[in-house]
């Protein structure tokens, strides 16, 4: 077994528990809410149409969007609660719809017979219509279960542990083994759950004919065992776990995984317990830190300046850093513990030989040559503030401006198909392809200084602040680039990259 | 006994009447055949007796009690009802189907169990052999026997039957007709059977009411209908079984 696979399998119990718990709780709540709604809709024409429309509309929303909206509605709360709410909303359509269909398809003559022998409408519902609709309702639950297992992988994005941790980490760190383990585990869980609920469905369908056969009894035994196991597992998982001293957050790309891991290692070495929640978006992380669900994560000055403070000008690196530090403290009581030293901003980059050939060191050198140069940007660059500022500051435009996926962009410049690209300064591929970052003497590019953003609660802990400060200004662009390169280009594990950074910091 | 007074039913606010101005009564222990073609109003009339349909006007008395003044669910629990197309609950066993009404009436378990045994025996389906089966495991005739047992279970003295034997093959139908007639006589039940089969009515009923277009054309004993039909329609209805009987008799004697 490869080291990589072994490393992934160590995480399995934790991710399995998270995923199963999310699925079982969401599905149970989904059932408890959806069946009564379905019954209500089947009784009342006024309710039926709007309700079915509403649950259908929820279903058409991308699941990521629902997760994001729930987090926003809960005021930035992350973790199990928003994930469960989103999953419950998502599970409703098949259960509500099948409950309505199941109740409506009970034969009229059976309902009339129930009335005729003197059952009240409640008795007709509970003794006749619901039992007869049960196989159809369970078929709906079965569909919902498979959906829930699938969508639960996205809960990682709002900081709830699931098999999605494998998938998102794997995608961001080019770790195919991790992606495969996560996908297979989720698929397997879906199949097992589908079979168990399929078994329940079979039992309810066959109960009128075959309840005395051996097969029926065997299926019943297996299903009951599985349900009891699932139930006791959920109860056990819900027992309060000892809460970690600090929660470390992270966005969904390699650099974030490495720095979060580094923070965790440093804190654990000092005797603290930590919990890592990696793979979230900027908005989610920022609010989670503001409300104290997350204690610390790696943020960039330009991100807060442009995306949170909504600024569209560039007053220079120092002013941006100062404004951001004041802003996070003033508005949400958060602390900028310190910059790490490297930036992850946009920069123009060229192959070294090509730059030498043309005699280009800074963007100013490019001005007379620009109408002969082909530039390639990532999917956003030429639509961003950075490009407009660059163009206007240097009064420069290129012969051609192509747009690429970032991976293809690097390949294109390496193979000489384009002259320059819009690289990211800490990107491992800059090191891998030995690209030259073109200087920006007029500071046209928005600065993206990396810094540790901590919650007010964490910042009150002196020992925590001390440990964090040992990292301040210890990692240069070059070193971060190298750490990223180890993971992204060489396919080494995140822990290798962390070990590399530690040797630099503690030398 | 059952008494209908000027009973009317309209489904379109009085533009047309499914049942118009119908009055008749059924004595205690009497079996009345209510006959007519589809759309004649016979089933609607039957359903107004236990308020499966609400009368538009008129009155119904069952054992002297005004049904419109009683709780419809309690009323139905105390009147046996045998459904067209049987209407057993597919998710209940035979025993559970029969026990349904006594349980609704709140009988204790022991009494329910004894009554189940009793009624199933009465219709020729011993509970030991048939009690645990589901209706899908029974023949059509057996299903309707359960239907009859269910109607008898709460010890009603009034039973309403809506084309109870219509879906059965001729031999099973004849058997059940005879058996039911015997049970009815033994228990002295007051019964209305809705049917479109004049032979069935003639052979089972003490009196027959012929309905057409929502009205009762004639009510009388089988002999009265056969010998003194008061309407052309009634004459046509009784002529068919009469001609058949004559032909059969000739066949028997010619051999």
According to the model, what pLDDT value does residue A284 have?
A: 82
- Which of B159, B151, B153 shows the shortest CA–CA distance to B29? B159
Residue B39's alpha-carbon distances to B43, B166, B214, in angstroms, are 9, 16, 8
Q: Which residues of A touch B50 (CB under 8 A)?
A: 116
Q: Do B19 and B177 contact (CB within 8 A), yes or no?
A: no
Return d(Cα A263, Cα A340) in angstroms, integer: 12
Return d(Cα A31, Cα A145) in angstroms, integer: 10
Interchain contact A113–B (C-beta under 8 A): yes
Contact A116 B81 (CB under 8 A): yes
Interchain contact B166–A (C-beta under 8 A): no
A419 burial (CB, 10 Å; 0-12 / 13-18 / 19+) is buried
Task: Indicate the fold that domain B1-79+158-170+179-223 takes in CATH.
Answer: Rossmann fold (3.40.50)
What is the edge-to-edge ordering of all strands in the sheet holding A274-280?
A: A274-280, A246-251, A296-300, A449-454, A335-343
Contact B104 A119 (CB under 8 A): yes
Interchain contact B137–A (C-beta under 8 A): yes
Find the CB nearest B83 among A109, A128, A131: A109
Q: Do A278 and A250 contact (CB within 8 A), yes or no?
A: yes
Say yes or no: domain A246-343+448-505 is CATH 3.40.50.1100.
Answer: no
* Token pair listed for A489: 């280009």
pLDDT beyond 70 at A315: yes
pLDDT beyond 60 at A1: no
Select from B47, B82, B83, B91 the residue whose CB has the most chain A CBs within 10 Å, as the one to mutate to test that interface: B91
Q: Which CATH superfamily is domain A3-237 in?
A: MetI-like (1.10.3720.10)
Interchain contact B8–A (C-beta under 8 A): no
* Token pair listed for B86: 């049987």
Give me the residue spans of the domains in chain B: 1-79+158-170+179-223, 89-155
Three-state secondary structure call for residue A241: coil
* Token pair listed for A19: 């995923």
* Token pair listed for A214: 């051996």
Interchain contact A110–B (C-beta under 8 A): yes
Residue A89 CA to chain centroid, in angstroms?
A: 18
Q: Do A427 and A478 contact (CB within 8 A), yes or no?
A: no
pLDDT beyond 70 at A46: yes
Interchain contact A209–B (C-beta under 8 A): yes
The correct CATH number of A346-437 out of 3.40.50.9100, 3.40.190.120, 3.30.300.30, 2.10.109.10 is: 3.40.190.120
- Which of A32, A45, A27, A33 shows the shortest CA–CA distance to A104? A45
Lowest mean pLDDT segment, chosen from A157-161, A277-281, A304-308: A277-281
Cα Rg of chain A, angstroms: 28
ipTM: 0.88
A333 pLDDT tier (thresholds 50, 70, 90): confident
Select from B53, B62, B89 the residue whose CB has the most chain A CBs within 10 Å, as the one to mutate to test that interface: B89
A479 pLDDT tier (thresholds 50, 70, 90): very high
- Is the pTM for the entire model greater than 0.90? no
According to the model, what pLDDT value does residue A507 have?
A: 75
Find the CB nearest A208 among B76, B77, B90: B90
Q: Do B192 and B2 contact (CB within 8 A), yes or no?
A: yes
Domain(s) labelled CATH 3.40.190.10 in chain A stretch across 246-343+448-505
Q: Which residues of A touch B90 (CB under 8 A)?
A: 110, 132, 208
What is the edge-to-edge ordering of all strands in the sheet holding B215-220?
A: B80-82, B158-162, B190-195, B31-35, B207-212, B215-220
Please tell me which residue of chain B has the smallest CA distance to A205.
B91
Residue A241 CA to chain centroid, in angstroms?
A: 23
């Amino acid at each position: 077994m490869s080291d990589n696979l072994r490393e992934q399998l160590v995480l399995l119990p934790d991710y399995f528990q998270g995923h199963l718990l999310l699925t079982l709780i969401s599905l149970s709540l989904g059932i408890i809410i959806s069946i009564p709604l379905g019954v209500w809709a089947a009784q009342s024409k006024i309710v039926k149409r709007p309700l079915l429309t509403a649950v259908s509309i929820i279903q058409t929303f991308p699941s990521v969007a629902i997760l994001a909206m729930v987090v926003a509605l809960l005021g930035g709360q992350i973790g199990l609660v928003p994930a469960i709410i989103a999953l419950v909303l998502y599970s409703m359509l098949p259960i509500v719809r099948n409950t309505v269909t199941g109740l409506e398809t009970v034969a009229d003559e059976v309902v009339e017979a129930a009335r005729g022998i003197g059952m009240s409408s409640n008795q007709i519902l509970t003794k006749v219509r619901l039992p007869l609709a049960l196989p159809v309702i369970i078929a709906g639950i079965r569909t919902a279960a498979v959906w829930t297992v699938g969508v639960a992988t996205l809960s990682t994005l709002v900081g709830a542990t699931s098999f999605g941790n494998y998938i998102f980490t794997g995608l961001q760190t080019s770790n195919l083994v991790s992606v495969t383990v996560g996908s297979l585990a989720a698929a397997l869980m879906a199949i097992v759950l589908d079979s168990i609920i399929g078994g329940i469905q079979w039992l309810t369908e066959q109960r009128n004919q075959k309840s005395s056969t051996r097969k029926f009894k065997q299926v019943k035994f297996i299903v009951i065992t599985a349900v009891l196991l699932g139930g006791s597992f959920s109860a056990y998982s819900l027992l309060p776990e000892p809460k970690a001293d600090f929660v470390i957050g992270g966005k969904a790309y390699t650099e974030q995984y490495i720095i979060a891991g580094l923070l965790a290692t440093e804190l654990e070495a000092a005797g603290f317990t930590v919990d890592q929640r990696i793979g979230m978006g900027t908005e989610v992380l920022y609010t989670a830190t503001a409300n104290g669900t997350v204690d610390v994560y790696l943020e960039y000055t330009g991100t807060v300046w442009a995306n949170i403070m909504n600024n569209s000008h560039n007053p220079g690196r120092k002013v941006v850093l100062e404004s951001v530090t004041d802003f996070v403290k003033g508005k949400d009581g958060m602390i900028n513990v310190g910059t790490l030293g490297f930036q992850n901003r946009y920069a123009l980059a060229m192959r070294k030989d090509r730059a030498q050939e043309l005699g280009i060191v800074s963007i100013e050198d490019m001005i007379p040559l620009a109408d002969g140069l082909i530039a390639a940007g990532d999917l956003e660059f030429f639509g961003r503030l950075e490009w407009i500022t660059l163009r206007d500051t240097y009064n420069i435009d290129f012969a051609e401006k192509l747009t690429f996926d970032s991976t293809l962009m690097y390949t294109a410049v390496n193979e000489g198909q384009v002259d320059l690209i819009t690289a990211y300064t800490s990107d491992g591929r800059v090191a891998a392809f030995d690209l030259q970052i073109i200087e920006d003497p007029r500071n046209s590019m928005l600065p993206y200084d990396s810094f540790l953003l901590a919650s007010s609660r964490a910042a009150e802990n002196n020992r925590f602040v001390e440990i964090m400060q040992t990292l301040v200004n210890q990692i240069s662009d070059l070193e971060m680039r190298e750490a990223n390169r180890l993971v992204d280009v060489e396919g080494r594990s995140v822990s290798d990259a962390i070990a590399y950074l530690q040797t630099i910091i503690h030398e | 006994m059952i008494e209908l007074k000027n009973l009317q039913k309209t489904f379109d606010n009085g533009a047309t009447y499914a049942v118009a101005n119908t009055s008749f009564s059924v004595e205690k222990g009497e079996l009345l055949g209510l006959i007519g073609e589809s759309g004649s109003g016979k089933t609607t009339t039957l359903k107004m007796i236990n308020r499966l349909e609400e009368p538009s006007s008129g009155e119904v008395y069952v054992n002297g009690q005004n049904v419109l003044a009683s709780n419809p669910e309690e009323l139905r629990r105390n009147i046996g009802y045998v459904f067209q197309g049987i209407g057993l609950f597919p998710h209940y066993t035979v025993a559970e189907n029969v026990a349904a009404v006594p349980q609704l009436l709140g009988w204790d378990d022991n009494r329910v169990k004894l009554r189940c045994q009793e009624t199933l025996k009465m219709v020729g389906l011993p509970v030991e052999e048939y009690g645990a089966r589901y209706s899908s495991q029974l023949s059509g005739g057996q299903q309707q026997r359960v239907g009859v047992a269910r109607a008898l279970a709460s010890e009603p003295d009034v039973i309403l039957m809506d084309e109870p034997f219509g879906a059965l093959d001729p031999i099973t139908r004849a058997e059940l007709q005879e058996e039911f007639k015997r049970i009815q006589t033994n228990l002295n039940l007051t019964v209305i059977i809705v049917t479109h089969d004049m032979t069935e009515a003639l052979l089972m009923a003490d009196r027959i009411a012929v309905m057409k277009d929502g009205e009762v054309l004639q009510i009388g004993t089988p002999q009265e209908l056969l010998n003194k039909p008061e309407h052309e329609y009634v004459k046509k209805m009784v002529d068919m079984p009469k001609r058949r009987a004559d032909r059969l008799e000739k066949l028997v004697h010619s051999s």
